[in-house]
Amino acid sequence: MWSASHSTILEMPVTIRTATPDDVSEILAFIRALAAYERAPDAVIATEADLLHDGFGPNPYFFCLIAELGGRPAGFALYFFDYSTWLGRPGLYLEDIFVHPEFRGRGVGKALLERLAAIAVEKGCARLKWEVLDWNTPAIDFYRAMGAEFPSEWLNACVGGEALLRLAGAADRLDDRAPSFRRSSGERMGDHERQPLISGEAAE
């Protein structure tokens, strides 16, 4: 059973804030929890140093939101911007979204998506995109109820690891820094290779 203090926390409103460099350890914990949820607990090789460098340097590759309940980290969303050549406008791509199980059903995932949608509108984005694993039916139902569509005519493509270096003509420079995208059944395949997805890991 939950303690009285935990029950009180769950009754508090969800707050969403922009992540800071001090949050990198918590962000990495969220990423690892998401990987475990997606049945690939050993797939994460990112480090706190990677996140600090790539998300909080002078030219960040990603941005991050932290959701809190009663001052406790409840969920997160990590995103970046892409561009539609057909529409001539930017888009917001949601890479990861996750809510800890004990905080689900409290509107945390919805609050994160609503804030992301607001950011997309503020930045003049034409759309908000993300992926969801095809076996994650609770998430699919949740996202569909929020207006998400699942185009079936598109397939995700990914070139990583040694194949990426070969494509770049750099096979002679292979070293341990090149991540492998081989996977066992159920593992994530790469940054954008998850199936037409959106993730129930955070959607409740």
Domains and CATH numbers, the chain: 4-145+198-202 (3.40.630.30)
Output the pLDDT for position 123: 98
pLDDT tens digits for range 26-72:
999 999 999 999 999 999 999 999 999 999 999 999 999 999 999 99
Confidence of residue 170 (pLDDT cuts 50, 70, 90): confident
pTM, two decimals, is 0.80
Output the pLDDT for position 99: 97
Structure token digits, residue 201: 């890991």
Is 143 a known active-site residue? yes
Please say whether the beta carbons of 139 and 198 come within 8 A.
Answer: yes
Tell me which of 37, 79, 93, 143 is the catalytic residue: 143
Residue type, 152: S
**Residue in 104, 79, 72, 99 with CA at minimum distance from that of residue 202:** 99
